[in-house]
Structure 1
Amino acid sequence: MNFLTDRKRATGLGAGGSGVAHHWLTIATSISLIVLVPFFIFVFGSAVGREQADVYAYFSNPFIAIAMALSLVGCVIHLKTEVDEAVEDYIGGIKRKLTLIAVAGFCYALILSGLFAILKLAIL
């Protein structure tokens, strides 16, 4: 039997135990992507159709490399929060935990490989 007071239930961060932190992370990444995605499209679109040496020179600019890295990290973190939400809503039990681990591993591997590629472009 559960003997929690109303206050204890209210400060207990909800049934999921994470409160609204997940929601605020999704909102924050959404707002940051409002700026980052058009900038990414502009930056990436400017590099399309150039010669290989020109592309290397273009991405060696630290501002361009940092903007690309921020866009990559913001998009993948937003993807992870949205997929986590879908998994928590539709999958239960041990499958949920394994799927959340797989999603996190995939997203962090995607970030790592993307940052490595951007770094390699910027250094060459």
Structure 2
Amino acid sequence: MGDFRTPLARVRGLGSAKSGTGHFIAQRVSAIALVVLMPLFLVKLAKNAGAGYAEAAAWVGSPLGAILTLLAMTAALYHMRLGLQVVIEDYIYRPATKAILLILNTFVAAGLWIAVLYSVLALAR
């Protein structure tokens, strides 16, 4: 009595892919990380609002600034990638288009993370 699928769904093998829970938890964990990291990052960034480039670069290049920036941007880009993945999977119906967009989503998120890493390392030297 536990299987509520129609006979056609059973024949086609339609049902849970068994990966939705992990994705859901990952998105919630990254959201919790953002709730903690983003206010800290934005407050530190706002304190440098009137400062010049040298002072802002010195803060991002400092150990605390570099770690906070990398943690905040890593959580933000990972959360962005997960969220866009859900949108693509839910609203794009053509398999080829869906596959291309999912690959592009991953490459853009990775490329942005590499740009952030390079920027922070360049300022930290």
TM-score normalised by length of structure 1:
0.82
Identity over aligned residues, as a percent? 27
Corresponding residue for 1:67? 68
Could you tell me how far apart the structure 2 residues matched to 1:51 and 1:67 are?
20
Q: Is the 8 A contact 2:61 2:120 kept in 1?
A: no
Give, as a single letter, the amino acid of the residue that structure 1 aligns with 2:63. Answer: P
Q: Aligned partners of 1:106, 1:57: CA distance in 2, in Å?
A: 28
Give how far 1:57 is off: 2.4
Map Cα deviations across residues 33-62 of structure 1 (whole Å, 9 max, x no partner): 110110111121122221232223222320
2:60 and 2:123 in contact (8 A); partners too: yes
CA distance in 2, matches of 1:89, 1:53: 45
Q: What's the CA shift for 1:24?
A: 0.5
TM superposition score normalised by structure 2: 0.82
Matched pairs, number: 113
Show structure 1 runs of 5+ residues with no match: none
Aligned pairs for 1:24-63 (under 5 A) are 24-63=25-64
Correspondence list, 1:1-20, <5 A: 15-20=16-21
SS in 2 for 1:69: helix
Query: Any unmatched runs of 5+ in structure 2?
Result: 4-9
Distance in 1, matches of 2:124 and 2:62, equals: 7
1:107 to 109, 114, 117: 109
